[in-house]
Structure 1
């Protein structure tokens, strides 16, 4: 391969000998082309595509594909220039796809100037031949024209091809800075490069998503729809304002490639504020934030996929372009893991539970006792497996006695802006004896006597409508501060995973306790009465079997 790379000055060129049997057809003994780079490694990466193009040319010539003007209508100079522009920008896109750090934009400024001078008519015929002579020869070979070398027609075409290559350089430079919206300004190239079709007013991707969300035929929770809208908007902003019916698997595949380079919680990081997805990825080369997991990539794809299912039903698409593009996940590996007993004991002996300096400095020991949702949510999750948002939104009336048994009614019904993940997530969960021992019912009595309607009045939603999302984020940071967490692994949701493992440890099968965790489908039986499904005593037995050998929490008892 390296024998086909030559260096002229500081720039590397590709070069190959033309086979003897096609030299008379092509009218030359060698082919050469600037690779537009000073980096030898980058030159090696660019070389294969150039060689493939030349070998296709040789094969065409050998097969006698020399279509004469009478057999095929010749292309105009503008059309030939547009083909060069398209092939140059497509090469940049392909190389960028293989390695997102790649940027042709690091071009020799002198070479860019030569192409600019070429289409401005300031270069000699020999200089034009060096820059674009091989392209002119290619067009002549396949019968698009037969301009005599150095004729006025030949020179006019050479200048248009210089314009095409300079315009391609401009796009590559823009892309390296994260701007993928550039268009050719040279009139010859612009006239032959049609504007992409745009979605009509009221029919954009996000317009149709809003219609899909309003219809909500599957009863998806408001939080999930809001999150999915952000995911779909990121997709729409990235692929451009195309009609929804024009979404293809290629659009989704290229977006997936970007997702796999996308930083975790990019929207919340000041360094990425106001940036497009591609600009964010480019900036992260220096910021070096961790990228999202394969599971999160799949969450983004699922949001777009569910919307595309609706587009198929409504006749906008023939098939779902997301199908088959999800990342393969090893389900034996969990991104979130349960706490170990030692970790739990360390956590419950830490300042958040035993006394801290103040509401803001949880990690510093002190005499201030926190007994609001921040204290109770981890404990309730540990002994019920409920989600943090489900617990945080409880009304005082949702904690009550049924048939002499204290229960939590997890529901979207009642006053306030309550929601559940799915309709099937509405359920009744008996209160574990350990929570009673720790003072949960005493807290209930006190909050009820105070006249509150919400069980945890200080628990709030963030700007995105997510219940206690800020606490969930801060809790993860707290785990790092008290040296329980390092990187990914444990989080607030580790309590939920721990409850599931405790139920398995007690001998229950997943299908026997899934409804306690809210892993049920919505059925007619869930629409009537207090209990969506199952008998209350069965639930009591399940919840009471949640136990953690070696757990030390006696000091938390009120």
Structure 2
């Protein structure tokens, strides 16, 4: 029996995903080790092992300890199966349980992919080596693994050594046929290219066959742009703000607060979704000889399950007076009183563990279908672009702009910014942040009353 080490439902979900991936990798390794004796195990088996973990999460109800127990029972069965494979004899001529099982599958017409791994490197193994050497955030590892598996499926290969430029081109074509945007295709390519670069570094392959490949946006299509006043009015006069709607896909109250927080902090979506109640705090500061204090949001990776894009992303952002007026401090205090692990506890993480994954999909639909913002260059990240632009228009120095947004410019001074940056200039900058012509919604409490009635 493996303990997940937590009684928190959300953390159990995250850990179960990670453990499920680990068991998939272990099964792949064992399958490869026994390939000479068994002609390989079918590709479908690892995902069949991981499926019960997801089912345990969705079927265990709302009680965290019951959920953990349910997940642990499934993991225990998986580990028992894995241990059974480890005990299969490997002497010459012996097939053992795994060999007999594989032989039956072969008779049933199942594929024999594992034989292709003999003497070569699977993408899972390469990713493990890359993750150990580079030590990126867990979300980055999960996303890279997902992109690599999609490449294997679409290109029809199983090992790093097999990759040719034609495989990479086929991957692009398959993604295009699946309706992926140029931006998403390039994200997939970036994952593939960095893995193959690492394979070259390890001398597993001689050249990176995907190097230099990218998809250009169609003529006339431009990069993301900031929300204009019309789009902002459409968002903040929508049913979430005027009729008290709290869509399940938007994580309940998260659908109200997260766009407002993005508007007034410029924070990235994942940074907002992963906030803990204790990340909102009052800090003292001196202003012209007098003692003052300010409410700030701490963007950090110190908490359980939190991550950052880079070290420069760690920072403190003062709360805008409008966020205080709307009741955000009161909302956070309620979250603390309820003992929530996260401020937005109703958000459901995506399959790769990202707190923002499902919210991002919901917001994209809500923006187009409900708010009627048709410009596809306007997305959630447009809040961040807008925040930077408004600060520039207010003639806020670049150094302070970067400190508020967690942007590393490469200057030596950046090393002394982040969460150690003085609060007073940040507070003064936030006070100067305003968007003329934008009428903000009713307070959170008023919206709560609309929901109640």
Tell which structure's C-alpha radius of gyration is larger: 1
Please name the residue that 2:282 is paired with: 401
Q: CA deviation at 1:512?
A: 5.5
Aligned: 1:410 with 2:299: yes
Give the Cα separation in 2 of the matches to 1:392 and 1:256. Answer: 31
Please name the residue that 1:45 is paired with: none
Aligned: 1:251 with 2:167: yes
Q: CA deviation at 1:303?
A: 0.4
Give the Cα separation in 2 of the matches to 1:508 and 1:334. Answer: 27
**What secondary structure, in the 3-state scheme, does the structure 1 residue paired with 2:117 have?**
coil
- Deviations along 1:178-229, one digit per CA (max 9) or x if unpaired, are xxxxxxxxxxxxxxxxx99974348443232332353151x42222221121
Please name the residue that 2:352 is paired with: 464
**What secondary structure, in the 3-state scheme, does the structure 2 residue paired with 1:260 have?**
helix
One of 261, 277, 299 as aligned partner of 2:177 = 261
- Deviations along 1:271-324, one digit per CA (max 9) or x if unpaired, are xxxxxxxxxxxxxxxxxxxxx222222111100011111101111122322222
Aligned: 1:212 with 2:147: no
Q: CA deviation at 1:378?
A: 0.4
Q: CA deviation at 1:385?
A: 0.8
Q: Which moved more, 1:326-335 or 1:244-253?
A: 326-335
Give the Cα separation in 1 of the matches to 2:122 and 2:399. Answer: 38
Whose relative contact order is higher, 1 or 2, with alpha carbons under 8 Å and at least 6 apart? 2
CA 1:360–1:456 in structure 2 vs 1: closer, same or farther (change >3 Å)? Answer: closer
1:198-209 → structure 2 map (5 Å cutoff):
199-201=116-118, 203-209=120-126
Please name the residue that 2:405 is paired with: 517
- Deviations along 1:121-169, one digit per CA (max 9) or x if unpaired, are xxxxxxxxxxxxxxxxxxxxxxxxxxxxxxxxxxxxxxxxxxxxxxxxx
Give the Cα separation in 1 of the matches to 2:333 and 2:247. Answer: 23
Give the Cα separation in 2 of the matches to 1:482 and 1:444. Answer: 28
- Deviations along 1:93-138, one digit per CA (max 9) or x if unpaired, are xxxxxxxxxxxxxxxxxxxxxxxxxxxxxxxxxxxxxxxxxxxxxx
* Equivalent residues of 2:277, 2:333 under 8 A apart: no
One of 431, 440, 450 as aligned partner of 2:338 = 450
Q: CA deviation at 1:326?
A: 2.0
One of 411, 419, 425 as aligned partner of 1:538 = 425
Give the Cα separation in 2 of the matches to 1:336 and 1:295. Answer: 10
Aligned: 1:301 with 2:189: yes
Q: CA deviation at 1:467?
A: 0.9
1:31-70 → structure 2 map (5 Å cutoff):
none
* Equivalent residues of 2:246, 2:253 under 8 A apart: no
**What secondary structure, in the 3-state scheme, does the structure 1 residue paired with 2:265 have?**
coil
One of 325, 334, 338 as aligned partner of 2:213 = 325
CA 1:477–1:255 in structure 2 vs 1: closer, same or farther (change >3 Å)? Answer: closer
* Equivalent residues of 2:297, 2:318 under 8 A apart: yes
CA 1:247–1:514 in structure 2 vs 1: closer, same or farther (change >3 Å)? Answer: farther
Give the Cα separation in 1 of the matches to 2:423 and 2:371. Answer: 40
* Equivalent residues of 1:383, 1:499 under 8 A apart: yes
1:86-485 → structure 2 map (5 Å cutoff):
199-201=116-118, 203-217=120-134, 219-241=135-157, 243-263=159-179, 292-328=180-216, 334-356=222-244, 359=247, 372-403=253-284, 404-414=293-303, 416-485=304-373
CA 1:330–1:358 in structure 2 vs 1: closer, same or farther (change >3 Å)? Answer: closer
Give the Cα separation in 2 of the matches to 1:204 and 1:526. Answer: 40
- Deviations along 1:533-553, one digit per CA (max 9) or x if unpaired, are 533333333433332111101
CA 1:246–1:198 in structure 2 vs 1: closer, same or farther (change >3 Å)? Answer: farther
**What secondary structure, in the 3-state scheme, does the structure 2 residue paired with 1:383 have?**
helix
- Deviations along 1:335-383, one digit per CA (max 9) or x if unpaired, are 4332221222232222101224665599xxxxxxx97221110000000
Give the Cα separation in 2 of the matches to 1:524 and 1:201. Answer: 49
**What secondary structure, in the 3-state scheme, does the structure 1 residue paired with 2:295 have?**
strand
Give the Cα separation in 1 of the matches to 2:260 and 2:299. Answer: 16
Q: CA deviation at 1:494?
A: 2.5
CA 1:526–1:396 in structure 2 vs 1: closer, same or farther (change >3 Å)? Answer: farther
Give the Cα separation in 1 of the matches to 2:345 and 2:333. Answer: 14
Greater fraction helix = 2
* Equivalent residues of 1:249, 1:321 under 8 A apart: yes
- Deviations along 1:482-519, one digit per CA (max 9) or x if unpaired, are 34233723333222222122223223476752343233
TM-score scaled to structure 1, two decimals?
0.52
**What secondary structure, in the 3-state scheme, does the structure 1 residue paired with 2:348 have?**
coil
* Equivalent residues of 1:428, 1:532 under 8 A apart: yes
Q: Which runs of 5+ in 1 are unaligned?
A: 1-194, 264-291, 363-369
* Equivalent residues of 2:400, 2:426 under 8 A apart: no
Q: CA RMSD in A?
A: 3.5
